[in-house]
Structure 1
Amino acid sequence: VKIETDEGVFGIGETVPLVAEFGEPVESIKYVIQDWLAPAIIGEDPFNFEAIFDKMYKAAKNHLFAKCAIDFALHDLVSKALDIPLYKFLGGKTRDKVPVSWVIGIKKPEEAAKEALDFVERGFKELKLKAGSDWRGDIERVKAVREAVGWDIAIRIDPNQAWSVARAITIIKKLERYELQLVEQPTPAWDLDGLAKVTKAVDTPILIDEGVRTPEDAVKVVRKEAADMINLKIGKIGGIYYSKKINAIAEAADIPCLVGSMLEGNIGTAASAHFALAAPNLKFAHDLIGPLFRADDVVKEPLKIKDGYLEVPEKPGIGVELDEKKLETLKYGGRWAMPKVRR
């Protein structure tokens, strides 16, 4: 997304279409922006965030991934207009660096251990292991990784809602010997009461992810004491504007947050990194490693990750520049669809 003012200042944003998880394919995102959101805010002062987001809310309920692309572009635009890095517009630094964690998918224990050791040697100090329905395999994977990297490296796991309440309690207690940093969304997102039972039953901190997409969701989590932490995945929340609101609710309730990722490219990751540098109430490393999964991108200078830290650009705006030639080269004119699986 590109938003331009009548004075020629422009901002860029991006989003990630995730149909299976959140129901927003690229076609609907493009349609909602062009036909509903853009007409509602064209002509508005870009600094009038409250008015802009109120107009978008009234123009189209939900569609948070589409709104996130506009949010990133607006934040890039206004900080460019002020000739300052975005983190300064967001209040300035609350920390000197943005630590990031490496995410390891579900694979054989020995393969996970090898990958974990490789990225620890590259400077990563926190690791996230994906988990799922094979809970015995999950335990073996955690054991193998812990033995490979030692006890000074933080390990968290993310079952992606795969466990029942009873199973989550049992598995997490079995894993406590490996000193997990946290467990992310072990049970279905809709079941806050169930997650609250897990949170109260185990010593390992519980991080809620898919269960929070709006400020109203965050209020419910606080009231039910459903989790110890909140994952601010800015893409699914609708952008920095709403992430700030959720973080403020969490901070008032003494619930720390961390910044997650929908595997955005350099544009979305840069915007998220500025938020992570400026926002209070954040704890642990963040999952801002999307660019490392891409063979190419549409920016002139990719972000740099060194020794487990994401380097936040000091240039005005989000600090990355769009490469128009690459954008044209990488543009896909067909229809996006999941690849067919052979059975």
Structure 2
Amino acid sequence: MAKLAHIDSFIVDLPTIRPHILAMATMHAQSMVLLRLTDSDGIEGIGEGTTIGGLSYGEESPEGIKLAIDTYITPLLQGQDLSRVGAVMARIGKHVAGNHIAKCAVETALLDMQGKRLGVPVSELIGGGRRREAFPVAWTLASGDTARDIEEAEAMLEARRHAIFKLKIGKRSVKADVAHVAAIKRALGDRASVRVDVNQGWSEAQADRGMALLQDAGVDLVEQPIAKLNVAAMARLSAKHVIPLMADEALHGPLEAFDIAARAGARIYAVKIAQSGGLLPAHAVGMIADAAGIGLYGGTMLEGTVGTAASAHVFATFPDLEWGTELFGPLLLTDDIVTRPLIYADFQLQVPTAPGIGVAFDEDKLAAFRRDATKTQHGSAALQGA
């Protein structure tokens, strides 16, 4: 029986390579909650819980994620057999409501530990194993400056790193946003797929107009144009327009996935392990979408390498990944906190093949970027007699 011997949760703050402008916030750095579990056999598992823009994107903040892990989830891990990941997560789910990102960090660490224990990648522990070794990755153009975004996209195409581009819009008028997007699509032509993410920034009337104009501009999809709770309006927009609507913020696990599918609220799902509450619930979201004939896209909360690697393992198991992924989070950061970065080449991300999630912390980088002054004591607990 593999019991918890030690747990350490901490926040790291990594600057972004440029301002990342969304409808609800402008990011200059990413704050990630990282987790390290060690069991009674000496096996270590690592995880990550990351949100976007503090509390501007969702109900969880980096500080709240850490608090939930330290105060409420850690006691539930004590005395449990950590090799029984499903049972442990069910126990946590029974006693901790919501807090999907905190749960995702813990489940990632448990699955990383289990993969290492068995000597297999995490993708082999999910849904019958991986179906692909690599997949396309989109790059988000979020400077808000048309000429700069075109230049950035051209550089990505030249480097053969990305041929899918998503634009963050919703802060300006619909007319101004569409003009910005249309200019970029004209410049890139058929060399790249161009998509937009409104991050709930439009009313239904604005979305109705914007989706029609974006379709005429040659845009391939529109992500979460309206408020996440307004599934009825999402269904009306999906039924009316040829350009597909992709659900993102509206998805918070299998229950929402089923509800949106039943109400025909979206034709594509952006699956995120953090929003879903972990890798296993994210896989369930993907299976619901697949059964309902809804297209799949691998989403991101702009995680660092740990969360991105974990996401890659889940998306590698999906039966179909028609719309690619958005796992560019580590590339948006000025530095990394792992010993060996993920491999991006020929417009794709390669899924790690080492046991567990396939990445390991760089201890020197952690020491440099950890937020807490004590570096080793705050948020860390050694468990005796567990």
TM-score by length of 2: 0.83
Q: What is the CA-CA distance between 1:31 and the residue it aligns to? A: 1.8
* Identity percentage of aligned residues: 33
Q: What is the CA-CA distance between 1:41 and the residue it aligns to? A: 2.2
2:23 matches 1:23: no
More helix by share: 1
Q: 1:326 corresponds to which letter in structure 2? A: K
Aligned to 1:116: 153
Aligned to 1:126: 164
Aligned partner (choices 118, 139, 164) of residue 102 of structure 1: 139
Q: How many residues align?
A: 334
Aligned to 1:337: none
- Give the distance between the partners of 2:129 and 2:231, measured in 1 at CA: 34
2:214 matches 1:175: yes
Aligned partner (choices 279, 292, 296) of residue 257 of structure 1: 296
- Give the distance between the partners of 1:34 and 1:162, measured in 2 at CA: 34
Preserved contact between residue 10 and residue 77 of structure 1 (Cα < 8 Å): yes
Residues 59/295 of structure 1: CA separation in 2 closer, same or farther (3 Å cut)? same
| CA displacement, residues 95-127 of structure 1 (integer Å, 9 cap, x when unaligned) | 231210010115132222222222122221211
Q: What is the CA-CA distance between 1:269 and the residue it aligns to? A: 0.6
Q: 2:43 corresponds to which letter in structure 1? A: V
Preserved contact between residue 287 and residue 318 of structure 2 (Cα < 8 Å): no
More strand by share: 2
| CA displacement, residues 227-281 of structure 1 (integer Å, 9 cap, x when unaligned) | 0011112112211011012112212211122111111111111111111212223
Aligned to 2:24: none
Q: What is the CA-CA distance between 1:321 and the residue it aligns to? A: 1.1
**SS of equivalent residue, structure 1 residue 37:** helix
- Give the distance between the partners of 2:227 and 2:166, measured in 1 at CA: 19
Aligned to 1:222: 261
Please show how residues 234-253 of structure 1 align to structure 2 within 5 Å: 234-253=273-292
- Give the distance between the partners of 1:220 and 1:269, measured in 2 at CA: 27
**SS of equivalent residue, structure 2 residue 316:** helix
- Give the distance between the partners of 1:100 and 1:215, measured in 2 at CA: 24
| CA displacement, residues 165-206 of structure 1 (integer Å, 9 cap, x when unaligned) | 122121211222232221100111110001111101100111
- Give the distance between the partners of 2:253 and 2:348, measured in 1 at CA: 28
Higher mean alpha-carbon deviation, 307-316 vs 205-214, is at 307-316
Runs of 4+ displaced beyond 4 Å = none
Q: Could you list the runs of 5+ residues in structure 2 that have no partner in the other structure? A: 1-34, 374-386
Preserved contact between residue 185 and residue 219 of structure 2 (Cα < 8 Å): no
Preserved contact between residue 109 and residue 140 of structure 1 (Cα < 8 Å): no
| CA displacement, residues 121-156 of structure 1 (integer Å, 9 cap, x when unaligned) | 222121111111421222112221112111241111
Aligned to 2:117: 81
CA RMSD of aligned residues (A): 1.5
Preserved contact between residue 30 and residue 66 of structure 1 (Cα < 8 Å): yes
Residues 54/92 of structure 1: CA separation in 2 closer, same or farther (3 Å cut)? closer
Aligned to 1:8: 42
Q: What is the CA-CA distance between 1:221 and the residue it aligns to? A: 0.2
| CA displacement, residues 64-123 of structure 1 (integer Å, 9 cap, x when unaligned) | 111111011111111111111222222333223121001011513222222222212222
Q: Could you list the runs of 5+ residues in structure 1 that have no partner in the other structure? A: 335-343
**SS of equivalent residue, structure 1 residue 15:** strand
Q: 2:46 corresponds to which letter in structure 1? A: I
**SS of equivalent residue, structure 1 residue 151:** helix
TM-score by length of 1: 0.93
Please show how residues 135-154 of structure 1 align to structure 2 within 5 Å: 135-154=174-193
Higher mean alpha-carbon deviation, 90-99 vs 246-255, is at 90-99
Residues 188/228 of structure 1: CA separation in 2 closer, same or farther (3 Å cut)? same
Aligned to 1:45: 81
**SS of equivalent residue, structure 1 residue 310:** strand
